[in-house]
Amino acid sequence: MRQRVTKAIFPVAGMGTRFLPATKSIPKEIMTLVDRPLVQYAIDEARAAGIKEFIFVTSRGKGALEDYFDHAHQLEYELRTRGKFDLLKILESTNMESGAIAYVRQHKALGLGHAIWCARRLIADEPFAVMLPDDVIAADPPCLRQMIEAYEDIGGNIIASMEVPRERASAYGILEVSEDFGSYFSVDSMVEKPNPSEVQSNLAIIGRYILTPSVLANLDRMQTGAGGEIQLTDAISQEIGAGGSKVYGFRFTGQSFDCGSKIGFLKATVAFGLSDPHFGADLREYLQETVARHHDH
Ligand code: G1P
């Protein structure tokens, strides 16, 4: 039996400059996609995958994110006394068990690898998940659940991956395939934000990982990589080859949205809105009319 994956790290220390001015006063992870903050999608996905401990790596100005996970006792009381049980149910579904969430502060913006390293003492010597809440994935079963199921089978390090247009390679970590097994493949090499001409592959890393604790030990070396930052991609890449643990790319079933960008956020809003049972049909009609009107211009 493999050791179960029960801990997940959520790096949320980024400044969110791509969403200025909104992120002047609110953390981007709190921005609302349809009716809930981005971070709630990641938490729900983690819970569906059996995660029990949620480790947030935060930074200055993320207070609203921490408050979001407090139980809203007054509000719950009001809804109960007014008989608004549907709303109460929604609210209660966001409540987390006491002690299930831990916050670690990243004191300096030194990169994603460094953010993960900041949580090393809470992970200790166990396999763990990493979820980047910017990457919202619509999938059934949820993406991390698919990955945990694969992990139970193959072990090692598992990285969610999808094909991207080659000219977009420089926005991602890119995985080169060594042996292809269909839904997953073993990774030969991986490089963070390459020049598209440097890589053979167009398989990008999407923000879901299951990692062995040895990756944390690799991060101890504090080597800087792309953009002068300490990169998670580099620390995982050091596992490839003799003596390291296996590294796999995982082709999840589902659709990923880059909610760290404005266009990605808008697309996610439309996609999630269209699949909403209450107003999806209304939205579809509105979009069709709007698009037709734009055509006439
Ligand atoms: C991070 C990772 C990158 C990955 C991307 C997915 O980059 O470093 O390998 O492809 O997330 O969203 P970031 O988007 O934080 O620059």
DSSP string, 155-201: -SEEEEEEE--GGGGGGSEEEEEEEE-SSEEEEEEEEES--GGG-S-
206 CB less than 6 Å from ligand 1?
Answer: yes
Give me the pLDDT at residue 14, please: 87
The pick from 19, 172, 208 for probing ligand 1's pocket by mutation, whose C-beta has the most ligand atoms within 8 angstroms, reads 172
113 CB less than 6 Å from ligand 1?
Answer: no
Distance 62 CA to ligand 1 centre (A): 20
The pick from 29, 175, 205 for probing ligand 1's pocket by mutation, whose C-beta has the most ligand atoms within 8 angstroms, reads 205
- Among 49, 54, 42, 219, residue whose Cα is nearest residue 122: 54
pLDDT mean over 125-147: 97
Ligand 1: which residue has its CA nearest to atom 5? 172
Closest ligand 1 atom to 233 CA: 9
- The more confidently predicted of residues 295 and 210 is 210
Give me the pLDDT at residue 25, please: 86
The two three-digit tokens of residue 118, written as one number? 């900041």
pLDDT mean over 277-281: 95
> Per-residue pLDDT for 228 more than 90?
yes
160 CB less than 6 Å from ligand 1?
Answer: no
Closest ligand 1 atom to 172 CA: 10
Would you tell me how many other CB atoms lie within 10 Å of the CB of residue 290? 10
| Helix, strand and coil in the chain, % to nearest 5 | 40, 25, 35
The two three-digit tokens of residue 273, written as one number? 């809105």
* Mean of pLDDT over the chain: 94
Ligand 1: which residue has its CA nearest to atom 9? 173
Q: Give the three-state DSSP class for 108.
A: coil
- Dump pLDDT digits (tens) for 3-46: 999 999 999 998 888 889 988 888 999 999 999 999 999 999 99
The model's pTM: 0.95
Distance 222 CA to ligand 1 centre (A): 18
Give me the pLDDT at residue 15, please: 85
233 CB less than 6 Å from ligand 1?
Answer: yes
> Per-residue pLDDT for 266 more than 70?
yes
- Among 123, 110, 120, 134, residue whose Cα is nearest residue 206: 134
205 CB less than 6 Å from ligand 1?
Answer: yes
Ligand 1: which residue has its CA nearest to atom 13? 172
Strand partners, 57: 11, 104
135 CB less than 6 Å from ligand 1?
Answer: yes
- Measure the CA–CA gap between 187 and 179, rounded to whole angstroms: 7
Give me the pLDDT at residue 17, please: 87
**Distances in Å between the alpha carbon of 150 and those of 124, 143, 144, 176, 264?**
23, 11, 10, 19, 28
79 CB less than 6 Å from ligand 1?
Answer: no
- Among 262, 280, 278, residue whose Cα is nearest residue 270: 280
Closest ligand 1 atom to 192 CA: 9
132 CB less than 6 Å from ligand 1?
Answer: yes
**Distances in Å between the alpha carbon of 266 and those of 175, 251, 260, 262?**
27, 24, 11, 6
Q: In this structure, are residues 51 and 290 in contact, taking their beta carbons and an 8 Å threshold? A: no
Identify the band that residue 296 occupies on the pLDDT scale cut at 50, 70 and 90.
low
